[in-house]
Every structure is written in structure tokens, then in C-alpha cells.
Chains A and B, each alone.
Chain A
Amino acid sequence: MKSTLKRAGYSKVQRQMNDVFIQFTSKVIFLIILLFSVNLFLAGHYTPGGGFVGGLLAASAIILLLMAYDYETVKKMIPVNFHLMISLGLALAIVVPTLLFFFGVPFFTHQHTYVTMPVFGEVALHTAVIFDVGVFLTVAGTSLLIVTLVGGTEK
């Protein structure tokens, strides 16, 4: 925040303002938001949620960190290459439907089975989840790419 204000030309930043509060709380809240986004994503099939919201919330989590720290620090904290994220997400989104060909059904017909696992009981496995992972990654990656790029910090 302080660095943003400095660049905007506010040279005389008030001495009282410091980033301690936001830096500490953001580290905690970031984790909560990230967990919530994953939960939202996984629960998408039976309750409100899904790939888009999950991706956006994940992006918001990292944006919160960006607000508190500057780009270099966040990059050290979370060494994720956004381009890779986007590419991976798009690849998943396309590859999954194509692979479904091998089940002998038309393009993009999802398959699902039920598997019994020791602790969780009966669990449904659905190819739509993998597709949704692709969507999640793409959305998160692009939002982060945009924000960091415009912030002028990504080289």
C-alpha cells in the first residue's frame, strides 16, 4: 500500500501508517481464503460453487498478499509462474474432452463412476472435475497475470 501510494506521487506518507497489521493478517487470511476457494471448487457439483468462483477466489487471495507486500516478496513466497498456470489450465480443459473419445462416446461426454474408499465411504469420480480444474487454473492464472502486469511489477 505504502509503495503504491509512493509511486502515485504521494511523497509525504504519514509516518504513522505502517503495514504491520495488514501484513500479519493477510498471511492468515490468505490461507483461509485459499482453503475456502478449494472447498468451493470441490463442492461445486452438489452445492453452489464451481471452477469459476474457485479460481477467482484463489486469485483474490494472492491479490490480497500483493496489496500487503510488493511483487518481489510475493514471488518469493509463492513461486508460481502464471503463464504456466494458464497453459496448464487450457491444456487440461481441452485434453480431457478429447481423451473421452477413448471411452467410445462422442466428444465431451463425461463419465462417472462410484468408488468405495476406506475412510470416505462411497465417492463419485467424475471427469467433469478434471475439466473444472482446468477452468480453475485458467481463471486464476489470467486474473493474476492481469493484475500483476498492470501493476507494473512483472517483468
Chain B
Amino acid sequence: MELVTIILSGILIASATYLILSKSVLRIIIGVSILSHGVHLMILTMGQLKRGNVPVLDDTVSSYSDPLPQALILTAIVISFALTAYSLVLLLRNYKELGTDNTEDMKGVPHDD
């Protein structure tokens, strides 16, 4: 299972990179979201999948799955949501001011004449 998840995560990250390299800012944001999904899966895999029970204290259970990666991923999920929200609003504001979504039109610096 870990093999599958790692490969899946790799594919997710590859697509995310492709989207991040695109010209449209919306696609960049979607790419960042997909990147975070891939990374979360990767971190979870490092903690060995499907061994042990749910990490809730129970007297009848002897082995638990690794709670630490789960805690890390929880933090990561929340923070990546904040990031996505912020970048969406940035895109919004950008679009309202510049009228374009195309990063090619946003090249360079304004002239300080």
C-alpha cells in the first residue's frame, strides 16, 4: 500500500508542479492545493499505513497507528487552507486592479518615471 501511496503522491506533486508553472493565476492556486494534498499523503505514508488501530486509547487494543504524523498533517491541513484562502483573495484583488489573470501581462516592474 505504501508503494501505491508514494507513487500516487508523486503523481499529485508532478501535476501540481505543472499547474504551478502555468500562466493563469487560478491554475497556480489549484496547483498549490494539489501539492498540499500530495504532501499530506506522503507524510502519512512515512508513518506506516494500516498497522495498528485508531489512535484512541482503548484497553482492548495493543498496537496503535502512529499518531505523530497525523498531528503534523492536521496542522498542515489547516495552514494550507489559510494559504489557499489568502492567495485566492490576492488573486481577486489582483484581478480587480489589473484586469488580467495572465501572469505574462504582469511581468516586470512599473516604471518609476
Contact = CB atoms under 8 A, between A and B. Distances in A.
A–B in direct contact per CB < 8 Å: yes
Interface of A: 46-48, 52, 139, 142, 146, 149-150
B56 A150 contact: no
A150 B78 contact: no
B57 A150 contact: no
Contact of B56 (A48, A139, A142, A146): A48
A46 B56 contact: yes
Interface of B: 54, 56-57, 74, 78, 82, 85, 88-89, 92
A150 B74 contact: no
Nearest to B56: A47
Given A142-B82, A146-B85, 13 more contacts: A46-B56, A46-B57, A47-B56, A48-B54, A48-B56, A52-B74, A52-B78, A139-B78, A146-B89, A149-B89, A150-B88, A150-B89, A150-B92
A48 B58 CA distance: 13
Nearest to A52: B78
B70 to A, nearest CB: 10
A146 B90 CA distance: 12
13 contacts: A46-B56, A46-B57, A48-B54, A48-B56, A52-B74, A52-B78, A139-B78, A142-B82, A146-B85, A146-B89, A149-B89, A150-B89, A150-B92
A48 B89 CA distance: 32
A55 B4 CA distance: 33
A12 to B, nearest CB: 26
A46 B55 CA distance: 10
A150 B78 CA distance: 19
A54 B61 CA distance: 27
A58 to B, nearest CB: 15
A47 B56 CA distance: 6
A139 B82 CA distance: 10
B97 to A, nearest CB: 16
Nearest to B85: A146
B84 to A, nearest CB: 10
A48 B56 CA distance: 8
A85 B54 CA distance: 33
B67 to A, nearest CB: 11
Nearest to A55: B78
Nearest to B75: A52
